[in-house]
Structure 1
């Protein structure tokens, strides 16, 4: 046999093998295997529930579900994300995430992702946090550059830009509000770390170790005024008399790191992280000697005094409940408004000394 024929034979054999593998993958892709396993598990689970069911109505519902599980439709499942792919990333067309084609068990996904309530899969997909190529159906291609767990996600945090890209993508994927002033930007996601979890508040003591000397005028002023706001709030008659709901409205602005779901906060008063955000990430950069990277993150959303940082608390309507409280007790305007604001006229200033016994509120 000549060399030319041998080469032709070898190449033909390789082509045949490659084509066979490709055809097999196209006819019976691996994702079908995962879906078969899932539907089989679900069918067994529903069969047990059906056997244990007591009412006829419950049996009927479970029977229908069982029938559909035993005749499943294997199909590509995808989430249509907000935005489009761009040619500069060598992709085009609609932005989709097809991870759920293989990772089909949504209940298990929710168990492993406690933050799914804040970042629902049907809006944000999976690739925004885990990386990889969410559009691919081939497992090897889909998992290219993927971050399987939090430790791997954290390892990509080599510069501030890594976090900025993550925050920007979250902002891009978030559905737009009709009001342009309510639309979210990168800075609105500053409270999240690179893993998608809420960033940890490290406390002002850690910040002040360096900044007492570096930015002393700012620190001295803040320590004298804002750090102590909650001390004054706790002495306020309306806070003392108020119920839990009333006090919560005070905690939102007069503590740092307040979590409405748990009712807990990091520190009393308006401390460093109240404006600069939870310090987990930028303090990490400071600790490893990348102070400039940490500084970039700390500045996000704080310069230019944007509304989303200052507005939620520095809003006159936030104190309407206090106005009502003091009006009902015939108190003077002075007891409702801090010294640095212009009092509204309530017409109660001529009611004698009803407010004299109340401590002054700043």
Structure 2
């Protein structure tokens, strides 16, 4: 055999092998094995339920489910995310996550991701927290640069900008509100840590260990006034007589770290984290000797920054329910006048002598 024929033969064999491998991956991609395993497990599960079922209607429904599970359609599953990739990220086109093509068992995913109630997969996908390449279908490429567990996610937090990028991405992925004025900023997501879980409130005592000496005048004033607001609220006649729903409205602004879903809060009063956000994120930087990075995060939402944390509570309409309560039941108007400020201003009555609008006295 001549050298030319030998080379041609070797190249032909290599071409045949490469073609066979390509056809195998094309008609039976590697990701199908994960779906086969999932559907196999589901068949066994439903068969057990079928044997245990006693009602004819239940058996009929389970039998139909078994038929569909035994003839599954293996397909690429993806989530079309809000926003688009850019060339700066060496990607372009629609932003998609195809992680669930392999990670197909949603029940298992939800079990290990409690935050999915607030950050559901079908809106935020997986890569926003875990990294990796969501568009890829091969395990090697998809898992490139991925953060597998929470500890790896936390270790990537080396600067405040990484946290800002994460919050900004959540803002981009969140569906737009019907009201164009309700555009979300990164500060709206300050309650989330880099893992996607709700950030932990560490408590004012941890803050005061350092800041009682560093920012004494500010801390002293805040402790004397804002820390104690809930003490006065608890003594108010309308809070005492109010329903659970009425009291929850008070708790939103007069406690720190209030969670509407559970009705629990971190501390009574308006303490450090009421304005600066849950301390888990920025206290982490303080502890590793990167205080300036922690300061950047703590300042998000405070006075002078684009997202203003003050607005939701410092809104005169928040106390409309109080006016209604006292007008209906009677009582002293002293509860509308915080001891440390000028009288509470609103727009429910006519002008007073000074020309401003103040709350009418309750007779």
Is the structural similarity TM-score above 0.5? yes
Deviation at 1:6, TM superposition (A): 7.5
Q: Is 2:229–2:270's contact at 8 Å kept on the other side of the alignment?
A: yes
Partner of 1:233, secondary structure, is helix
Deviation at 1:325, TM superposition (A): 2.1
* Residues 12-51 of structure 1 deviation map (CA, whole Å, 9 limit, x = unaligned): 6555544433332222111111111111111121122222
Gaps of 5+ in 2: 351-358
Q: 1:290 aligns to what?
A: 290
Q: Is 1:257–1:267's contact at 8 Å kept on the other side of the alignment?
A: yes
Q: 1:66-105 alignment to 2 at 5 Å?
A: 66-105=66-105
How has the CA–CA distance of structure 1 residues 234 and 305 changed in structure 2, closer, same or farther, with 3 Å as cutoff? farther
Q: Is 1:78–1:98's contact at 8 Å kept on the other side of the alignment?
A: yes
Q: 1:1-362 alignment to 2 at 5 Å?
A: 16-304=16-304, 309-338=309-338, 339-342=342-345, 344-345=348-349, 349=361, 351=363
CA distance in 1, matches of 2:303, 2:320: 29
How has the CA–CA distance of structure 1 residues 350 and 63 changed in structure 2, closer, same or farther, with 3 Å as cutoff? closer
CA distance in 1, matches of 2:297, 2:10: 58
Q: Is 1:79–1:96's contact at 8 Å kept on the other side of the alignment?
A: yes
Deviation at 1:305, TM superposition (A): 6.3
**Number of equivalenced pairs:** 351
CA distance in 2, matches of 1:107, 1:145: 26
CA distance in 2, matches of 1:179, 1:350: 37
Mean alpha-carbon deviation: is it higher for 100-109 or for 22-31? 22-31
TM-score by length of 2: 0.89
Deviation at 1:97, TM superposition (A): 0.5
Q: Is 1:147–1:153's contact at 8 Å kept on the other side of the alignment?
A: yes
CA distance in 2, matches of 1:298, 1:89: 29
CA distance in 1, matches of 2:349, 2:305: 29
TM-score by length of 1: 0.89
Deviation at 1:194, TM superposition (A): 0.6
* Residues 49-69 of structure 1 deviation map (CA, whole Å, 9 limit, x = unaligned): 222222232222222211111
CA distance in 2, matches of 1:350, 1:92: 64
CA distance in 2, matches of 1:77, 1:111: 20
CA distance in 1, matches of 2:38, 2:168: 34
